[in-house]
Amino acid sequence: MDASNQNSVALPEENRSAGALYELTEFEKYLKSARNMAIGLGLWGLVNLFTGSSPFAATLFILALISVKLRSVALLAIYAIFFLWAALFNLIAVGDNASLFWAAILALSAIREFHRYLKLRPDERLHLQSDAEDAPQLARTRLLLPLLAAAVALAAWLSYAASGILIFAWIALSTPADSDPPALLLFFNVLSPMVGALGLAMGGAALLSGYRRKLFSIVAILSGGALVGLDLGLLLLWA
């Protein structure tokens, strides 16, 4: 196919003359590229999985799955908020020269994604008001995102509390020679604040986008933010 026609599609028969092409809007191009973004997150997760950061890899896999399911420009705001948290986490949890580099990359990525979000947000509203085939799916996303954000943030708290209690119980009931908690409990205890950051990002994106059911977005922001703040505070104390 000619390169000039890669972002064009043929118009329906009743709306075109012979050979006429319809140029995709920037928002439609974004929707077509959403699956590629999900694949990129999945590959990033695999890299972290093989380099020893399995909780962060699992969080990226969850974000990749959300990227496939959510057909909304709010996804870019989710990326921006989540990347900002990841940059801050790298600075506090690791703190070496390599983490400074990755924190800068993540912060720049967050700024880029938020700029794209602000640029495409008006186009999404116009798309929603059109008779586009995927407009109903977009409308459902606007209703479901706040609910999903609250569910993710609260599930993160539940996992964090349950794994923390079980870890303390294991240490209290074990002999000194066998006091190390199971790796699975430690995995969920580390994973939970990362999922909480994801819930925070989803709630923040829904609120920024003006989606209805704002109470659920606020619940996600407050609960996810509290878990993230607790985790970062503990990391600072132990640093």
- The helix/strand/coil state of 213 is coil
- The 10s digit of each residue's pLDDT in 126-157 is 777 777 677 777 778 888 999 999 999 999 99
pLDDT at 20 over 70: no
Tally of domains within the chain: 1
| pLDDT at position 48 | 84
Residue span of the structural domain in which 205 resides: 3-238
Q: Decide which of 93 and 8 is more confident.
A: 93
- The 10s digit of each residue's pLDDT in 209-233 is 988 899 999 999 999 999 999 998 9
pTM of the model: 0.83
- The helix/strand/coil state of 32 is helix
Across 153-167, average pLDDT: 95
Cβ-defined contacts of 48-56 (< 8 Å, 24+) = 54/187, 55/187, 55/190, 55/191, 55/194, 56/86, 56/194
Question: Sorting pLDDT into bands at 50, 70 and 90, what band is 93?
Answer: confident
- The 10s digit of each residue's pLDDT in 46-61 is 988 887 778 889 999 9
Question: Sorting pLDDT into bands at 50, 70 and 90, what band is 239?
Answer: low
